[in-house]
Amino acid sequence: MSERKHPIPGRLPTADNWRFLRQWLRNPLTVAAVTPSSRQLARRMVSELPDDARRVIELGGGTGVFTRAILERGIAPADLMVLELNEELARLLRERFEGARVVCGDARELPQLAAQNGYLDDGPADAVISGLGLLSMARPTQREILRAAFDSMRPEGRMIQFTYGPVSPVPRSLLDDLELNVRRSAFAWWNMPPATVYVFTRRRSRGIAPVKVRPPRP
Ligand SMILES: C[S@@+](CC[C@H](N)C(=O)[O-])C[C@H]1O[C@@H](n2cnc3c(N)ncnc32)[C@H](O)[C@@H]1O
């Protein structure tokens, strides 16, 4: 893993917590959390990557807790694209994870941004790991982000998302509109606040069962 200037030990350095809090005070709606996620939640998120996942996109990298776990899982920096809206955090991620493609931009524009920086030249991603505060976003924004994520992945791709709420952060009606399934995964107790991981996939079209037709009587 390429992690240059700021190695992150097992516990997050206080500097990261302050940095994150400062960004939250400036942009509470987009940063959507007062501290970075825990290492436990990062492990739970990454454990949902398919075994054969090679190319991963991370949305809302923050200070890089999930980024680090993704790279530790064996994803090559060149196969990882990290999107972060906040300029200061994007700069930090670039310094911290040399070789990964860190892009400062909006997750709603993911397919365009991924194409512009050449990430899609090697084909669509296998999975999206989202650190976005999806629960606190308006439904039209959720829709745009889910669309953008699934437009950037292969058909069997999955989006892995955490939430602090007791149910899926995406309402059933929106999942039906976008033809997505959701599965509840692991719970992370040691997160502040505790969080649950959800996995979104495309619905497969159900094959039409063959109908037995009796030949007409002579
Ligand atoms: C809840 S924080 C999570 C940060 C980090 N993944 C973690 O778990 O500690 C959400 C992050 O998403 C970023 N963000 C919010 N809206 C975004 C958007 N539309 N596109 C890209 N990043 C966004 C915020 O700047 C913030 O860093």
Per-residue model confidence as pLDDT tens digits over 160-194: 999 998 899 999 999 999 999 999 999 999 888 99
Ligand 1 atom closest to Cα of residue 137: 16
* Ligand 1 site, residue 81, Cβ cutoff 6 A: no
* Ligand 1 site, residue 128, Cβ cutoff 6 A: no
60 CA → ligand 1 middle, Å: 3
Packed helices 14-26 and 87-96: angle between N→C axes, nearest 10 degrees = 150
pLDDT band at 206 (very low <50, low <70, confident <90, very high): low
170, 163 in Cβ contact below 8 A? no
Instruction: Look over the chain and give the mean of its residue pLDDT values, rounded to a whole number.
Output: 90
Q: Give CA–CA dist 69/72, Å, rounded.
A: 5
Higher pLDDT, 14 or 117: 117
pLDDT value at residue 9: 41
Q: What average pLDDT does range 64-77 have in this prediction?
A: 97
36 CA → ligand 1 middle, Å: 10
Ligand 1 atom closest to Cα of residue 23: 25
Ligand 1, atom 24, lies closest to the CA of 31
pTM for the whole structure: 0.88
Ligand 1, atom 17, lies closest to the CA of 85
* Ligand 1 site, residue 56, Cβ cutoff 6 A: no
